[in-house]
Chains A and B, each alone.
Chain A
Amino acid sequence: MASLKELKGRINSVKSTQKITKAKQMVAAAKLRKAQAAAEAGRPYAQRLAEVMASLSSKITVTDNSPKLLSGTGSDSVHLLVVANSDKGLAGAFNSNIVKAALTAARRLEAEGKTVLFYLIGRKGRPVIRRNYPKSILKMFDTTDVRNPGFDEAEKIANELVALYEEGRFDVAHLFFSKFKNALTQEPTEQQIIPVPAPKAAAVTTDAVVEYEPDEEEILAALLPRYLKTQLFGALLENMASEQGASMTAMDNATRNAGDLIKTLTIQYNRSRQAAITTELVEIIAGAEAL
């Protein structure tokens, strides 16, 4: 039986933990709203660009002269896995789910005899992937010095990826991030980003003859890197919303657990206090009777 003082100490320590988890939960809730708004605000651009890409790619045929970002390098032996994680923990299984999805894909690709390389965004995925594939990490992109990864980061990452692609370091790139469904569910998602998969053409095509200036192929070549950036940006936004959602849920659970723990500990504390008082009384009464 723990002494009264010990119990009191434990209750206090759980209480202060609860305060932290509660605060983190509220912060996550506020940030989630912001992240959702940002994801929403980014949608018109992505949608328009996808529409334009779809109508363009339906007009040209992919040949050997097409931009490499569209047609591929011609082989598919080296796969780059771009894994987007966050920099902070306290978000439940958010980061480990993404890493797990990436590692599963890596094993699958290796079983097929392909070479796997990693490009890591964010800090949290590094240790696990480094342990599993110590020699395959091509690059780690640091986002610790920016508070909210934005379009500038997406642009930098896209430029690096395109540069590496043009150097011939890899043939196919997959992006791993967490898709935001709602605050409770986030879905680790895999998406091929290089070569750029042609967006599905919209069902309705306008009858009007559209003029292109310069011609279709040049516009497409100019838009491909932008499309890549937009995809990365979208993934970063989704990831951010997912992180906050996961964090909110995890912290909510933690707060509730702490509450339960405090309740049991308090009952235990009261019982032992009562037991101590009863014992004392019994001793006094026994003493008085003995006189």
Chain B
Amino acid sequence: MALHFELVTPARLVRSEEVHMVVIPGTEGEMGVLQGHAPFMTTIKDGPLKVYRTENGAPEEVLIQGGFAEVGANGLTVLAEHVEG
């Protein structure tokens, strides 16, 4: 099962894809988001976002700053002010 993941900055939609899992460095601790996660909103610490495309694959790291994550019915949306990589 795949999780729909969107990463958006003020300037553009950086990515919109199906992934296995995303690990978010939330302000109150890291959390992994899989498909079917309960709806929530959290602010994010500046740091790497780990994107697992497949279950056993190596994670891809995306550095973000000033982030905010929202999980809803249509997947995970991360709003970030700055994105590297």
Residues of A within 8 A of B (CB): 38, 41-42, 44-46, 48-49, 52, 56, 150-151, 154-155, 206, 208-214, 218-219, 222-223, 226, 229-230, 233
Pick the contact of A222: B10, B38, B43 (CB < 8 A): B43
A45 touching B79, Cβ below 8 Å: yes
Can you list 10 A-B pairs with a CB-CB distance of less than 8 A? A44-B13, A45-B8, A151-B10, A212-B40, A213-B27, A213-B41, A214-B27, A219-B41, A223-B68, A229-B81
**Chain B residues in the interface with A (C-beta under 8 A):** 8-13, 26-28, 38-43, 66, 68, 70, 72-73, 77, 79, 81
- Determine the main DSSP class of A at the interface with B: helix
Determine the distance from Cα of A30 to Cα of B46 in the docked complex, in whole angstroms.
37
Contact assessment for B11 and A42 in the assembled complex, using a CB-CB cutoff below 8 Å: yes
Q: A49-B68, A213-B41 are in contact. List 4 more A-B contacts (CB 8 A).
A: A211-B40, A211-B41, A214-B27, A222-B68
Chain B residue at minimum C-beta to C-beta distance from A152: B82
A208-B77 Cα distance, complex, nearest whole Å: 16
Are B10 and A46 in contact (CB-based, < 8 A)? yes
Do B68 and A151 touch (CB < 8 A)?
A: no
Q: Please, how many angstroms separate the alpha-carbon atoms of A165 and B51 in the complex?
A: 39
User: In the complex, which residue of chain B has the Cβ closest to the Cβ of A213?
Assistant: B42
Name the B residues within 8 Å of A49 (CB-CB).
Answer: 68, 79
Chain B residues with CB under 8 Å of A222's CB are 43, 68
In the assembled complex, the Cα of A154 lies from the Cα of B26 at a distance in Å of: 25
Quote the shortest CB–CB distance from B16 to chain A (angstroms): 9
Q: B38, B73, B77: which contacts A211 (Cβ < 8 A)?
A: B38
Bound state CA distance, A45 and B70, in angstroms? 12
